[in-house]
């Protein structure tokens, strides 16, 4: 699975109808319980650290060969059932011309926060050619991943807006919430532009051949249900509806979103990601719609438990797999991303165990 294969035009989407990840994402019972991990590509892998040495993060994210190799590394090592594109939610903002950087130890930092209508109007749009190098990386991966599905992703409008308004990561999102309520027309103008940017980024990945997409709303759990439905739901719905024509599974995930699960379902995703705070069978109960097929869920091992003793970790994996059988389909994952100091051998062992369990 060399990522250096010559890129070719994507004339048709790959036929991976038996891939366990895709079967589960469409509400079926696959041959084995599928598993992949958010942030599976990255700092937990020594081969990643060796490849990235001396290379700026944003440079790596726009290098087709490097992003393809990093994306494949966890598939090669762990034998996970899906690869997720090595990228970042701020990539389309950077590509569009926003002055934003990824600062080690901090995260995305914006040079000039956006907090008024003039700044919103000045926010540039994204064109597909500005993320062409990311699309080139996707094409390399499509040629290299054999039978392993590739997941593309984008940041949801609320989470992107939070970074732009706060100027970087925030515990309380005070500027964001104040703007939402004090100047709702400014908020909706900003969220609308960010929905367009996310949609353009996802379509570029889909046109290049990704087999599924995930919309990350990392900070949505900071919101009340009322605020989510008024200020966020219309814009996330726009993104997910905008890629429906591609016919690929659409996953929607946020952290701390147990109270928002039904609202996130209403945004139109095919799969709802669940963090570790809500048991999967309870999440299914909340997500279920009378007369409709059972919902499909993804999750939800607490990433911190990867540091526990193996008997404890094994018990948690078995419990989550059992709870997931209440769903129409279950994709095993973490309730958030892999932590940088996790032992990669533990992840490999979890994958082996999951593959032994009944879907």
Q: What positions carry a catalytic annotation?
A: 39, 43, 52, 88, 163
Q: Given CA atoms 219, 268, 89, 276 in this order, what sign does their dihedral have?
A: positive
Q: What are phi and psi of 343, to 5 degrees?
A: -75, 120
DSSP 244: G
Nearest of 311, 1, 299, 42 to residue 143 by alpha carbon: 1
Question: DSSP E strands: which ranges in the chain?
Answer: 83-84, 100-103, 107-110, 150-155, 212-217, 250-254, 271-273, 296-301, 329-334
Give the three-state DSSP class for 158: helix
Give φ, ψ of 247 to 5 degrees. Answer: 70, 20
Using an 8 Å Cβ cutoff, are 60 and 67 in contact? yes
User: What are the structure tokens assigned to 114, written together?
Assistant: 């956006």
Is-cis flag, bond preceding 300, omega within 30?
yes
């Amino acid at each position: 699975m060399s990522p250096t294969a010559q890129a070719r035009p994507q004339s048709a989407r790959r036929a991976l109808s038996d891939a366990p990840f895709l079967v589960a994402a469409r509400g079926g019972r696959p041959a084995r319980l599928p598993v992949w991990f958010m942030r599976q590509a990255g700092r937990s892998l020594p081969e990643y650290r060796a490849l990235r040495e001396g290379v700026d993060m944003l440079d790596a994210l726009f290098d087709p060969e490097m992003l393809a190799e990093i994306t494949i590394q966890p598939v090669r090592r762990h034998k996970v059932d899906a690869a997720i594109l090595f990228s970042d939610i701020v990539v389309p903002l950077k590509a569009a011309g926003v002055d934003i950087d990824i600062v080690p130890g901090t995260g995305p930092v914006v040079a000039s926060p956006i907090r008024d209508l003039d700044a919103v109007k000045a926010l540039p749009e994204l064109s597909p050619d500005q993320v062409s190098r990311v699309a080139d990386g996707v094409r390399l991966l499509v040629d290299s991943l054999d039978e392993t599905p590739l997941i593309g992703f984008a940041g949801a409008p609320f989470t992107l807006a939070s970074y732009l308004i706060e100027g970087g990561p925030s515990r309380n999102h005070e500027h964001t919430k104040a703007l939402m309520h004090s100047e709702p027309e400014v908020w909706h103008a900003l969220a609308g532009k960010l929905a367009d940017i996310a949609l353009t980024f996802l379509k570029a990945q889909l046109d290049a051949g990704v087999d599924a997409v995930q919309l990350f709303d990392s900070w949505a759990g900071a919101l009340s249900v009322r605020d989510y439905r008024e200020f966020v739901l219309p814009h996330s719905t726009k993104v997910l509806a905008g890629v429906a024509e591609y016919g690929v599974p659409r996953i929607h995930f946020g952290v701390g979103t147990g109270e928002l699960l039904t609202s996130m379902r209403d945004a139109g995703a095919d799969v709802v990601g669940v963090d570790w705070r809500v048991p999967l069978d309870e999440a299914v109960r909340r997500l279920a719609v009378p007369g409709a097929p059972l919902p499909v869920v993804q999750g939800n091992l607490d990433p911190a438990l990867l540091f526990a003793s193996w008997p404890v970790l094994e018990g948690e994996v078995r419990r989550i797999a059992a709870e997931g059988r209440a769903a129409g389909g279950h994709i095993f994952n973490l309730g958030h991303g892999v932590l940088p100091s996790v032992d990669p051998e533990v992840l490999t062992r979890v994958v082996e165990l999951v593959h032994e369990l009944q879907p």
